[in-house]
Amino acid sequence: MSNAKIEIRHLYKIFGPDPVAMMEKVREGVGKDQMIEEFGHVLGLSDINLKIPEKGIQVVMGLSGSGKSTLIRHINRLIEPTTGDVLVEGENVLEMNEQALRNFRRHRASMVFQKFALLPHRTVMENTVYGLEIQGLAEKEARKQAAHWIDRVGLSGYEENYPQQLSGGMQQRVGLARALATDADILLMDEAFSALDPLIRADMQNILLDLQQELHKTIVFITHDLEEALRIGDQIAILRDGEVVQQGTPQQIILKPKDDYIADFTKDINRGRVIQLKTIMSPVNDLLGPELSGEMMVEDAAQVVTESPSSQARVIDDSGRVIGAVNITNLIRAMARPDIETRLEEL
């Protein structure tokens, strides 16, 4: 991936009194459970390798204890690794001196936290300008920029409110405005929406996706929720016990789970709302039918094709060029759960 914004190479993190010595045990094949039971150390991350493309949303997901929050904190070096490399545009974050690291955190990588991390004695405006103050921006310009982002996240009129006067969703909007105000290319989001109720969470996802359409940030988004990962991620990496089990697009994760662990994660997902036509289309044929975007989800396409006399549709790209075709059989098969799909193939 030549346009990788962030590249993580052979990253290990061992927690305990002598992590360097424990690396020899890891190289000898000692796993996470044995590391704890016999040596009193925790293997937090094991040989993580990720290439994160620029201007996209990289989701890292896994259950509690999988290492996902530990991983994201290595990108801005809130956690020091045991060994490995974290490259941002070719520069190794782990080799930065104190001043370079401070500048990196101030100007190039902003972070949004699960528990909002707002300063309770500061208003919405004062929280939002905080990063700009750290950057040294003049007060007038800082407040102007902050006001813009407060408006963009839908909080105009709340500038003088304090965090305790806001709902959880509103507090997280402040956290997002604060991160965006610094104009950093990289946005690190550590389970940023997981503390919110489902409706507010969906609203925040919409806000993030709408902003990303305009801003094209490089976003690393941590979550334990597969549906959230599938909805917002351009790429997904799934962690288990500190290791990457599978990485790929949402389509690849759903259609080709690497093992039973991933398959169990995905079995109850509504595939029709995740899989795009361009993923399942067949070669172009001569039959007529409506023209549908390759980006369209299978579930939406099924409604159109069902009403078409030909029971099929032509798939087009962004330029309007026909690139393939789908029919009702393709669509039904794509929407079926894996166990049902197996039975369809046997018929």
The pLDDT tens digits of the residues spanning 192-243 come to 998 889 899 999 999 999 999 999 999 999 999 999 999 999 999 999 999 9
| Percent of the chain clearing pLDDT 70 (strictly above) | 95
Q: Which domain range does residue 197 map to?
A: 55-69+98-269
- Domain shared by 133 and 206, yes or no: yes
User: Where does the pLDDT of residue 345 fall: very low under 50, low under 70, confident under 90, or very high at 90 and above?
Assistant: very low
Show which of 211, 237, 269 is a domain's final residue. Answer: 269
Name every residue whose Cβ is closer than 8 Å to that of residue 229 and which is 6 or more positions away in sequence: 59, 61, 221, 223, 236, 250
- Domain shared by 226 and 314, yes or no: no
Would you say residue 337 has pLDDT above 60? yes
Q: What is the pLDDT of residues 278-334, one digit of tens each?
A: 989 988 767 678 999 999 999 999 999 999 888 899 999 999 999 999 999 989 988
- Domain shared by 195 and 313, yes or no: no
Show which of 269, 300, 333 is a domain's final residue. Answer: 269
Residue 250, helix vs strand vs coil: helix
pTM over 0.75: yes
What residues pair up with 59 in beta bridges, in sequence order? 221, 236
- Domain shared by 228 and 293, yes or no: no
User: Where does the pLDDT of residue 338 fall: very low under 50, low under 70, confident under 90, or very high at 90 and above?
Assistant: low
- Domain shared by 252 and 314, yes or no: no
Average pLDDT over residues 181-185: 95
The pLDDT value recorded for residue 339 is 53
What mean pLDDT value characterizes the chain? Answer: 92
- Domain shared by 137 and 220, yes or no: yes
Q: What is the pLDDT of residues 54-92, one digit of tens each?
A: 999 999 999 999 999 999 999 999 999 999 999 999 999
Strand ranges for the chain from DSSP E: 4-15, 42-53, 57-61, 83-88, 91-92, 109-112, 186-190, 218-223, 235-240, 243-248, 291-293, 312-316, 322-327
User: Where does the pLDDT of residue 164 fall: very low under 50, low under 70, confident under 90, or very high at 90 and above?
Assistant: very high
Would you say residue 343 has pLDDT above 70? no
Number of domains in the chain: 2
Residue with tokens 């930065």: 96
